[in-house]
Amino acid sequence: MVLKERQEGVLVLTLNRPERLNALTGELLEALFAALEEANRDQGVRALLLTGAGKAFSAGQDLMEFGEAKPDYEAHLRRYNRVVEALSALEKPLVVAVNGAAAGAGMSLALWGDYRLAATEASFTTAFLRIGLVPDSGMSFLLPRLVGLAKAQELLHLSPRLSAEEALALGLVHRVVPGERLVEEALRQAQELAQGPTRAHALTRKLLLETYRLSLTEALALEAILQGEAGRTLDHEEGVRAFREKRPPRFQGR
Ligand code: T3D
């Protein structure tokens, strides 16, 4: 369901239900959650790359999963929320490579990347309201922050299907590359991040997510606390030493 492959300090996670456009099932979500938890614990993993197998990134919830039965949405959403909490609490930088369609919760997952690349042929649609649901998996939290309230209203209420270039123009992704180069480029980016000051990346993720709900005074206080933590890392010492010695830093992720 989720392929795991180590490429030096990068853990590549591939959603692997290509015959169903990597639509999300309870089983796939459990596998993704376990992989994220394991990656967080593994000191050797210093960056993650998330992508999809086949022609889609993910079509969101598998609408065939429950057959004719009406799912217990609240219970099912707990599985989603565990994954989203794990993504937001990830202590390593996350690169997402959107290889094809990203819809509904599949699009939500993509937005959790710290650096998001899309293949030229990728597309994005919020999809939720088209089937009478509300946005989930953190979409209501992230989307207005990424694109502003007015655009989020349009993308949710009208649910257009955006091309990769349109997604780039809105800031939903950072870069668009030809499909045949997507994974190579995403891996190169993830490997660069994996050579970085891992703790400072983790603390920066935390700051960017938390400061939205804080006042300026609270944000400054949090910056000071986390700067204290970053300042105690060996990577900070190494960064300053390398600057003074006019050489590239060799960060150890500690
Ligand atoms: O707790 C809960 O359950 C609530 C949680 C909700 C989270 C959500 O994610 S809600 C949103 C669910 N997703 C959608 O509504 C997206 C539906 N799919 C689409 O909009 C489009 O299929 C795509 C934009 C993803 C891709 O379009 P395209 O043109 O590339 O492919 P297609 O022809 O529409 O689909 C190809 C096949 O995949 C087709 O099956 P067939 O006819 O070849 O047998 C289609 O039915 C199937 N498929 C597409 N999306 C899903 C799916 N099968 C199951 N679940 C899907 N989500």
What is the DSSP annotation of 219-232?
HHHHHHHHHHHHHT
| pLDDT, tens digit (0-9, with 9 covering 90-100), for 166-175 | 999 999 999 9
195-245 pLDDT per residue, tens: 999 999 999 999 999 998 899 999 999 999 999 999 999 999 999 999 999
- Please name the residue whose Cα sits nearest to atom 44 of ligand 1: 20
What local confidence, expressed as pLDDT, does residue 73 receive?
82
Is the domain 2-194 a CATH 3.90.226.10 member? yes
If you measure from the C-alpha of residue 66 to the centroid of ligand 1, how many angstroms do you get, rounded to a whole number? 14
Domain boundaries in the chain? Answer: 2-194, 198-245
How remote is the CA of residue 143 from the centroid of ligand 1, in Å? 20
Asked whether this chain's domains 2-194 and 198-245 adopt the same fold, the reply is no
Pocket probe for ligand 1: among 24, 25, 57, 61, the residue whose CB has the most ligand atoms within 8 Å is 61
Helices (H) and strands (E) in the chain, counts: 10, 10
pLDDT (average), residues 150-157 = 98
Confidence of residue 70 (pLDDT cuts 50, 70, 90): confident
Q: Return the percentage of the chain with pLDDT > 90, whole number.
A: 94
pLDDT of residue 122: 98
For 183, phi and psi rounded to 5 degrees?
-70, -40
Q: Residues 198-245: name the CATH superfamily.
A: Lyase 2-enoyl-coa Hydratase, Chain  A, domain 2 (1.10.12.10)
Span from the CA of 65 to the centroid of ligand 1 (angstroms): 11
Spatial distance between the Cα atoms of 9 and 252, rounded to a whole number of angstroms: 11
| Range 41-66 average pLDDT | 97
Residue 87 token pair: 């993504």
Ligand 1 pocket, residues with Cβ under 6 angstroms: 20-21, 23, 59-64, 71, 73, 76-77, 101, 103-105, 125, 127-128, 131, 133, 136
Distance CA(178)–CA(121), nearest Å, equals 8
More confident residue, 74 or 106: 106
Q: Of all atoms in ligand 1, which is nearest to the CA of residue 102?
A: 25
Residue 72: pLDDT band with limits 50, 70, 90: confident
Q: How far apart are CA 17 and CA 124, in angstroms?
A: 18
pLDDT, residue 161, reads 98
Structure pTM? 0.97
Specify the DSSP class assigned to residue 197.
-
What pLDDT, in 10s, does the model give residues 81-101?
999 999 999 999 999 999 999
Please give the number of the atom of ligand 1 that sits closest to the Cα of 64.
54
Average pLDDT, the chain: 97
Phi then psi for residue 6, to 5 deg, are -90, 130
Residue length of the chain: 254
- Mean pLDDT to the nearest integer, 132-158: 97
Ligand 1, atom 5: closest residue by C-alpha? 61
